[in-house]
Amino acid sequence: MRVIRHRGRIALAMMLSATLAAATACAGDDTKSDGGADQKITLNVDDFGTFGYQDLYKQYEAQHPNIKINERNVPKLDDYTPRLQQWIAAGAGAGDVVAIEEGIMVKFKSQPDKFVDLKKYGASSLQGNFIPWKWEGGMSPDGSKLIGLGTDVGSIGLCYRSDLFKKAGLPTDRDAVTKLWPTWDDFIATGKKFTGKVGGDTKFIDSPETYYNTILMQEAGKGSNQTYFDQSNKFVMESNPAVKAAWDETVKMSQAGLANGVQFLSDQWSQALKKDAFATAPCPAWMLGLIKEFGGSGQSGKWDVAGIPGGGGSWGGSWLAVPSQSKHPKEAADLAKFLTSPQGQIGAFKAANNLPSSPQALNDAAVKAFSNPYFNNAPVGKIYGPAATSLKPVYLGADNQEVRQAVEADIRAIAQGKLSPGSGWSKAVSDAKKASGTG
């Protein structure tokens, strides 16, 4: 699987270089299209991670014989973002439909001229198909253009290996496991018990940065609804208690020996997953698809889903947008509307467990009753669905991803023993300032 991915990346890079060299800028007219009714059109879709669209693509192509869909997936968001930025800035190379994750949405919304106004293609009437804040999140800063249609939201649970918990003498039933950790300190105490029983190469948590980001979004959602930047994009990391609380709790996990220090979604992370090298991972709904994909059939039934310490929260979620450079904006907008429709979101949920941002989809019996056999038949519709409509969006600034990556590097360095907890915070703040261009 890994070799195939690398081949895919190389091939993709070559294809994109050729595209950038050959393409001519075509930004401007939101209503242009050179596709006649009988002309075969290929729509390129750029996304990352696991969106669960394969069956939906086949369905759409069957209903639209003149449309061929070519998905250009990049596994890691951190690899996908700079490519999308390059394509958008160059005015060429981007797909006809592009996925934009919440952490980079502010950056792209600041360039509304680079995207078509989906309201011009019949999306104005679709507002009721989305949770209000998800719809608003797709609007341009001045509210005049609809840049993106919501795909999913990131309600958080916690995935755990029931077989490893049994080995450690811990409860394995998901309700009993949830009761182990009302708070993150309780979670750390459970991790110490686990480590005392299992030990060896198996750590309690997957990666310190996944827990850091989870706690950060939880804490931000409880108070300021912001992380590194305020609504005016002023850098506020040092004064935002949500950031420091997430940092301190994660450092405690590393000091307790619960973390192995691998980078999330790196080759080391996927190998650790396959080799039983960690027992828990924060699980926004979209994480279920990643664990299944990287864990493979050998771990089917060994994972389960419990409640997250510290209450609920949200991490992740995306929109689909149509760059103004697309030669087929009408057809691309129609595809984006189909994929983000209530039925499209139900299909994506069944395929990859990406939690719908559509109230109709969330209330659909197929979602409510859905259980995931890979996760010991966990009732994921019941676990994730009820909290989705009460989630509050957290503001993420235009330079969120650059700052996040800088802070994550320092939180990993502590887990790896390369940075002392005592000096880690000041270094993280300094590195974050540099990444944001404020220091």
The more confidently predicted of residues 20 and 98 is: 98
Sheet with 67-74: strands ordered across: 67-74, 41-48, 97-101, 318-321, 148-150
Mean pLDDT over residues 221-226, rounded?
A: 90
Q: What is the pLDDT of residues 129-138, one digit of tens each?
A: 999 999 999 9
Mean pLDDT over residues 365-383, rounded?
A: 93
Residue 40 has pLDDT above 50, yes or no: yes
- Name the token pair of 385: 């669905």
Which pLDDT score, from 0 to 100, does residue 137 have?
94
When pLDDT is cut at 50, 70 and 90, the band that residue 16 belongs to is: very low
Q: What is the pLDDT of residues 382-425, one digit of tens each?
A: 888 887 877 888 999 889 999 999 999 999 999 999 999 999 99
- Name the token pair of 246: 């997430």
Q: What is the pLDDT of residues 62-74, one digit of tens each?
A: 999 999 999 999 9
Report the run of H or E that residue 342 belongs to, with start and end.
helix 342-352
Q: Which residue spans of the chain are classified as CATH 3.40.190.10?
A: 41-153+317-369, 155-314+399-436
Mean pLDDT over residues 142-146, rounded?
A: 96
Residue 26 has pLDDT above 90, yes or no: no
> From CA 41, how far away is CA 52, in angstroms rounded?
22
Determine how many CB atoms are found less than 10 A away from the CB of residue 199. 11
Mean pLDDT over residues 227-239, rounded?
A: 95
Residues 183, 295, 401, 336, Cα dihedral to 10°: -110
Q: Within 13 Å and on the Cβ side, how many CA atoms surround 288?
A: 33
Q: What is the pLDDT of residues 189-219, one digit of tens each?
A: 999 999 999 978 899 999 999 999 999 999 9
Query: Which residues touch 122 (CB under 8 Å, ≥6 apart)?
Result: 333, 337
Residue 364 has pLDDT above 90, yes or no: yes
**CATH classification number, 155-314+399-436, choose in 1.10.1840.10, 3.30.200.20, 3.40.190.10, 2.40.50.100:** 3.40.190.10
When pLDDT is cut at 50, 70 and 90, the band that residue 37 belongs to is: low
Q: Which CATH class is domain 41-153+317-369?
A: alpha beta
Contact (Cβ atoms closer than 8 angstroms) between residue 358 and residue 342 = yes
> From CA 2, how far away is CA 8, in angstroms rounded?
10
Cα-based angle 154, 134, 344 (whole degrees, multiple of 5): 75
pTM above 0.85, yes or no: no
Query: Which residues touch 318 (CB under 8 Å, ≥6 apart)?
Result: 51, 99, 100, 101, 102, 150, 151, 152
> From CA 313, how far away is CA 159, in angstroms rounded?
15
β 203-205/278-284 pair status: parallel
Mean pLDDT over residues 254-269, rounded?
A: 92
User: What is Dmax (Cα atoms) for the chain?
Assistant: 67
When pLDDT is cut at 50, 70 and 90, the band that residue 316 belongs to is: confident
Which pLDDT score, from 0 to 100, does residue 433 have?
96
Contact (Cβ atoms closer than 8 angstroms) between residue 216 and residue 246 = yes
* Angle, helices 400-415/208-222, rounded to nearest 10 degrees: 130
Contact (Cβ atoms closer than 8 angstroms) between residue 321 and residue 340 = no
Residue 265 has pLDDT above 60, yes or no: yes
Which pLDDT score, from 0 to 100, does residue 36 have?
53
Which pLDDT score, from 0 to 100, does residue 402 have?
94
**How far lies 57's CA from each of 64, 80, 84, 194, 319, in Å?**
10, 21, 22, 44, 17
Cα-based angle 250, 298, 253 (whole degrees, multiple of 5): 10
* Angle, helices 77-90/102-109, rounded to nearest 10 degrees: 10
Of 110-114, 235-239, 313-317, the least confident: 313-317
Residue 323 has pLDDT above 70, yes or no: yes
